[in-house]
Amino acid sequence: MASTSTPRYTVPGISVEDGGKLISALSARLHALNDLHLTLKHVHWNVVGPHFIAVHEMLDPQVDRVRDMADDVAERISALGGVPKGTPGALVAERTWDDYSIGRADAIAHLGALDMVYTGVIESYRTAIEKVGDLDPATEDLLIEQLRDLDQFQWFVRAHLESAQGTLSTGNAATEADAARAAAE
């Protein structure tokens, strides 16, 4: 069985060693994207309150795009000679973050928590882009394109949390639960 991060071959112009580094960075992105699209659906199903329909309908296009991103990342892993692992067990075993912690809640509370989720995903994307930038412009370009969409999705979320003066209701929250409480106040 082939290793998931050490390819036997990779794309022309990239060493097998560098291909392995790219696969490793992309595998972490794949887990983050699979987790994100499941989290977005969880919020979609569990959002309540006066902003229900706006948030409920805002999330479906985000889910669809994030699922497409995961597919693009998995296909790039395969092209590089790796084995994309898209199973729930692999996601849970290899992720470096906790599961989303908010259940049925007010739309604004979920958006506060979701802002924290997007921050984590976006920060990890920026780190991955730095890692792959010198190794492969095609992989870097893929991640940059996806980062633009993730930034926009976070902006959509934050628009619900921002005051007219430009402050976020979540302030300096350190956890999803703190952000949810701060947003709902």
Question: What pLDDT is attached to residue 4?
Answer: 59
| Alpha carbon distance 72, 57 (integer Å) | 24
- Banded pLDDT at 2 (limits 50, 70, 90): very low
Q: What percent of the chain has pLDDT over 90?
A: 95
Can you point out the beta strands (E) in 51-176?
Answer: 105-106
pLDDT digits (tens, 9 = 90+) for 77-94: 999 999 999 999 999 999
pLDDT digits (tens, 9 = 90+) for 41-65: 999 999 999 999 999 999 999 999 9
The residues with which 105 forms a beta bridge, in sequence order, are 47
Specify the range with the lowest mean pLDDT, choosing from 1-10, 49-58, 140-149: 1-10
Domain ranges for the chain: 16-184
Instruction: Give the largest CA-CA distance in the chain.
Output: 57
CATH match of 16-184 with 1.20.1260.10: yes
Torsion of CA 158, 61, 64, 119, to 10 degrees: 0
Q: Look over the chain and give the mean of its residue pLDDT values, rounded to a whole number.
A: 95
